[in-house]
Structure 1
Amino acid sequence: MYASEEFGAIRVTTHRHGDDLLSAGLGLRGLAGAPAPFAQPAAPTPEELRRRAIQSSWKGIADLGPLGGFGTLYGQVPDVPGREFTTFATLPGAQASHRVLLQVPDAFDRTKRCLVVTASPGTRGIYGSIALAGAWGLPKGCAVAYTDKAAGSGYFDTTDDSGVALDGTRAKAGEVPLEFEPKGATTLGGIAVKHAHSGDNPEADWGRHVLHAVRFGLAMLDRAFPEEAPFTPGNTRIIATGLSNGGGAVLRAAGEDTDGMLAAVVALAPNIHVAGHGRPFFDYATEAAVLLPAALAAGAFDDAPFARVANAQPPAWALRGASLRLHGRLSETLPTAQASEALAMLRASGWRDDAMAVGASSTSLDLWRTVTVAYASAYLRRPVGDMPCGYQYRPQHTGGMARPVDAIVRAAWWADGSGSPPGAGILLTGGTDLSLDPTLPGNLCLRELWTGQGGDARRLREAVAATAAALPRDDLPIFVVHGAQDGLIPVGFSSEPYVTWLRASGRSPVFWKVPYAQHFDAFLAFPDFGDRHAPLLPFGYAALDRAWACVAEGRALPEDAAVRDTRPRGPGPLTASALAVPAT
């Protein structure tokens, strides 16, 4: 039923003796340390790239700092030897592949037959969810199947016609199959990114990507243990879990699992929406990109971390209100009144003050613009060189000119890139003017793609509509875990309306709304920011424990209110008393 021939060429590698599945031999201390080195920086080996990609994925998701409690209060990074099976898989009708990977520990428990399937958060590469799915499943003897859901950092450079091979190294088009090779690209196209330039609307297929990864995982288990085959949903318990976009992907899979493959779903901070309920991400993210810099000048955010970026010249919070008035978006004339007006507009559209205060971090890091640029290009199926609003990804040459160091940066793109430039030696250009608020024109253009009436706006809204969730089967255990102070995917726009919709439709999801938790556990290492918040990952691990107890042991599902006593970490190390993690 799940023949490996469906997936084409499979790369199989073994990982033992200082190069394991969970940390590539780095262990917790190594994961938290300096970037794993390359012996020859311009020509890293597949093993070196894998190690660095795993490290980058851990650092991008988990708080591994000395105050965060990982490895002492929750979580672990044991040595897990085993094998990996990976390939480029393509959904029927899609133009670009999604990378799929199965990790099979040597200690795989053939008696309980557990398969964890996961999708990467954000637009990260294949190991993006290792700190959640891998850290929970591999030490328990589960196999873990990953999908990058047709995103990832397999960047294609049109200037030298090179992309990323299956082993993570760079290769020229035509030499070997590449993770992404854009059609019709010219040398003037800049950097091509799979999520933005594939010609697909990959978000519309998130659920299919996850279910395809399930089939891949089962087929590879047949290959790994032929004497135990076949592995099927009937004899293998399959739990889907993901964070952020990965959380949205597993909930989408829950609604599209017509074959009943999934035994339970655990979604953390999911980017999810339902037609007529909540708000799609592109809607509220483009709104935040325009209005939030002005609103954060209000006195309500005087002590919010990142609300007043000290090195902004001139300060953005003092300029955005005036710029919006010049563009006819605000009517007040005084800066304080402009801030109050922008704040009132955001509140009227459903934003809560705690989400806006935490959203200041996304504002200061320019995340709203970074992510919505790529989404707009994907929704409109734009090729490289023709992104909406004049945007483009370009190589960042050292000192403004090409130098040998550029080859070093490019060689590490697959390991270091987040899948959403800028970063890792890639610039986001275009969408700016010569004013004192240069990014506003591009942000207004992106916002107009949601609110406008032109052809592109209509096509974009149709593409977003194709990403809405469908209703899962009524007996599927679903856990939704979301930070009450999430400032990137506010719970009031995503999980709350989704859970309300499920319950109104006769479903019984478990909803843990975690006080003081926000979207990025990795941000908790920042001074002052981490003092005010609690981590989300320990609640994800606890939800997975309870999901497993439910499907494997018949235990009753827990209640919603189990996390209400969680407190902020405070200025010192995280303590067990601050975490109201439900016991199993």
Structure 2
Amino acid sequence: MQALEFMQSEVLVTTHRDGDDLLSAGLGLDGLKGMPVAFADAAHPDAQTLRRRAIQMSWKGIADLGPLGGYGTVYGAAPDVPGREYQAFATIPSARAPHRVLVQVPDDFDHAHRCLVVTASSGSRGIYGAIALAGAWGLPRGCAVTYTDKGTGSGYFDFSDDSGAALNGERAKRGTAMLEFEPRETKGEGIAFKHAHSGDNPEADWGRHVLQAVQFGLAMLDRAFPGEAPFTPRNTKIIATGLSNGGGAVLQAAGFDDGGMLAGVVALEPNVHTPQHGRAAFDYMTEAAMWLPCALMDQRYASTPFARDANGAQHAAWTARCARLHAQGWLKSSTVEEKAVEAHTHLRSTGWTDRVMATAASSTALDLWRVIDVAYASAYLRRDANDMPCGFRYAAMVNGRPGVADEATRASWWADAAGIPPGNGIGLFGGVDESADPTWRGIAGLRQLWTGDDADARALHASVRTLAAQLPSKELPLWVVHGADDGLLPTVFTSEPYVAWLRAEGRQPLYWKVPYAQHFDAFLALPGFGNNHLPLLPYGYAALDRLWAHLFEGQPWPADVPTPQGTARGAGLLQASMLGAIGSVLVHL
């Protein structure tokens, strides 16, 4: 087996057969759609049940498994795939915190078409965070799939009992086992987590995490099939795919891949930064947190899901945001309606489109902008949990106030959490006041980190500069798939400038800007929201199918593939015809 100097732990090997499997942990598609897997002992769940629930929650967080969404009938499937898992902690040079790596090797590994799919978790999710994309596509084909949490994950550290998540997901005290994350400080309060508090700015190294996951995957194939070793990029096709932050990670990896390990890349809705062309995510997300609440008061959004409260009235705090922007001298009008028009016009001038703002009403109503900005600011400034910017902090939430988590809540974090709090009994505190616009103070402080020129602002900009995408090789097949209505990572700031830059530099990426698709397939199950949109996952599967045909069936890599023109789902069931030209070939059974 290949020597791996970056390994930080022993490899944990588990088998998954006979009522358990790699893709759905034995739940099948119906079980994935069902109620959360129950813990026999909520305070001390065993590793097998934690894994089963982590896989289920990862599926629910990424795919539209709702009754109207068509998963398993129009596209996608979750067949039984028995096999083995190999997982460990690894670290990149100079990093303090480890990243998780995990390889799933199916019993029906296709030895005639040696394939390793490499992926990185979306958002800040845990190790199974891309299973609905990479696992669902690769495992039924007989590919092994290697995952990394890319230095993020859900292994929260709780200062109240000095515990974190061990390799198998169970809680363990600092000093008794290697943990997914241990804070630098030995004393503290509240909750710390790797993405925000490792001191490593992991985003700058997401591509390196992906390439290490490739090396780990090849080495574990050597272990799984010693008679066929060594597995190398010359005899095993390595396909990189990911979505959102995972999409950005595989594009980073393509730029870092000087050794030519990757055979092809398919990136969905990537968080990719192309300096001098696009905008940094921290820039447009802090802008969104500040301006969108007022802009969405515009009457054009009166019937947009999430843009009004449950009674159809304007959000009081959003009306107050218009008044705040007026008090700052940034809006000149007197009425709320006129202020909203001004705010909308401002965002149009900085690149936001009407459809993207409409979709972004969901992220605004759910407070995602502020939540994301807080965590990223802490990561960029390399702050500890008790020294976060703008007075923010994370703590267990008890009756709406900071407190101490009970054992059951703490035990569920690794399986249930989506990566960045709040949620699952953890709250975001600080940066608020008791005014009509309570989040303004923290949001204004976060925006100042981008627009200001003090030491913190300069340090944050220095960190963001390290995120710049690098050019992949000219020969690498590369496909970017992005929803035209993405309201979290708008194409105008991310994929479009990246693709334009690649083409200007002599590369030939394929690009689908998919009409009616937005960022969160899982949101399509929310009442009213899915009517206006389509899922993005089927288009990612179709791009991966085309890449497979090129790598293993000799089909030429196309110079261009027109984007399939689908239609919005409407209030009924998703139909194959709604997905355009790909709809007739998408069910993977």
With the shorter chain as reference, the TM-score category is over 0.9
Q: 5+ unaligned residues in a row in structure 2: which ranges? A: none
Q: How much does 1:399 deviate?
A: 7.1
1:341 to 2:342 alignment: yes
- In structure 1, the residue matched to 2:174 is 173
- Cα shift at 1:4: 4.5
Equivalent residue runs for 1:143-162 within 5 Å: 143-162=144-163
Structure 1 residue 310, shift from structure 2 partner: 2.9
Instruction: Tell me the secondary structure at the aligned position of residue 222 of structure 1.
Output: helix
Q: Which residue number corresponds to residue 468 of structure 1?
A: 468
C-alpha displacement at 1:526, in angstroms?
1.0
SS in 2 for 1:215: helix
Does residue 87 (structure 1) correspond to residue 88 (structure 2)? The answer is: yes
Structure 1 residues 116-148: Cα deviation after superposition (integer angstroms, max 9, x where no partner): 000000000000000000000000000000000
Aligned equivalents of 2:362, 2:93: Cα separation in 1: 39
Residues 546-557 of structure 1: matches in 2 within 5 Å? 546-557=546-557
Q: Is the 8 A contact 2:564 2:579 kept in 1?
A: no
Counterpart amino acid of residue 282 in structure 2: F
**TM-superposition CA deviations, 1:247-275 (whole Å, max 9, x none):** 00000100110000000000000000211
| TM-score, scaled to structure 2 | 0.97
TM-aligned CA distance change 1:198 to 1:454, over 3 Å: same
- What is the CA-CA distance between 1:111 and the residue it aligns to? 1.6
**Structure 2 equivalent of residue 250 of structure 1:** 250
Aligned partner of 1:140 in structure 2 is: 141
Matched ranges for 1:198-347 at <5 A: 198-310=198-310, 315-347=316-348
Residue in 2 that maps onto 1:375: 376
Tell me if 1:182 matches 2:199: no
Other-structure match for 1:64: 65
1:528 to partner: Cα distance: 1.3
Tell me how many residue pairs correspond in the alignment. 582
Distance 2:56 2:282 in 1: 29
Q: Aligned partners of 1:425, 1:153: CA distance in 2, in Å?
A: 13
Distance in 2 of aligned mates of 1:477 and 1:120:
22
- Deviation at residue 438 of structure 1 after TM alignment: 0.6
Instruction: State the SS of the aligned residue for 2:524.
Output: helix
**Whole-Å Cα distance in 1 between the matches of residues 579 and 528 of structure 2?**
19
Aligned amino acid, residue 436 of structure 1: A
Is 1:390 equivalent to 2:391 in the alignment? yes
1: CA distance, partners of 2:430 / 2:365: 19
SS at match of 2:406: helix
Q: SS of the counterpart of 1:511? A: strand
RMSD: 1.5
Question: Alpha carbons of 1:309 and 1:581: their partners in 2 closer, same or farther (altered >3 Å)?
Answer: farther
Q: Equivalent residue of 2:548, what SS? A: helix
Work out the CA distance in 2 between the residues paired with 1:453 and 1:6.
38
Corresponding position of 1:125: 126
**What letter is aligned with 2:482?**
H
Shift of 1:64: 0.5
User: How far apart are the structure 1 equivalents of 2:494 and 2:481?
Assistant: 11
| Per-residue Cα deviation, 1:468-505 (whole angstroms, up to 9, x for no partner) | 10000000000100000000000111111111111111
Q: Equivalent pairs: percent with the same residue?
A: 63
Give the C-alpha shift of residue 555 in structure 1: 1.2
Counterpart position of 1:352: 353
Partner of 1:427: 427
Alpha-carbon distance in structure 1 between the residues aligned to 2:550 and 2:20: 33
How far did 1:309 drift?
Answer: 2.7
Cα pair distance change 1:155/1:60, threshold 3 Å? same
Q: Is the Cα–Cα contact under 8 Å of residues 546 and 558 in structure 1 kept in the other structure? A: no
Over 3 Å counting, the alpha-carbon distance change for 1:469 and 1:400 in structure 2 is: closer
Give the SS at the match of 1:252: helix
DSSP 3-state at the match of 2:485: coil
Give the 5 Å matches for 1:480-495: 480-495=480-495
Instruction: Tell me if the contact between 1:542 and 1:581 (Cα under 8 Å) persists in the aligned partners.
Output: no
In structure 1, C-alpha distance between the alignment counterparts of 2:315 and 2:211, rounded to whole Å: 49
Could you list the per-position Cα deviations for residues 338-393 of structure 1 after superposition, in whole angstroms to 9, with x for gaps in the alignment?
11111111011011111000000000000000111000000000011000000000
Cα deviation, residue 323, structure 1: 1.8
Greater CA drift, 422-431 or 309-318: 309-318
What is the letter of the counterpart of residue 319 of structure 1?
A
CA contact (8 A) 1:185 1:384 kept: no
> What CA distance in whole angstroms lies between the structure 2 residues aligned with 1:192 and 1:433?
23
With normalisation by structure 1, the TM-score equals 0.97
Which residue type is aligned with residue 556 of structure 2? Answer: A
C-alpha separation between the residues in 1 aligned to 2:454 and 2:335?
33
SS in 2 for 1:240: strand
1:240 partner amino acid: A
Contact 2:483 2:515 in 1 (8 A): yes
Partners of 1:446 and 1:286 in 2: CA distance: 7
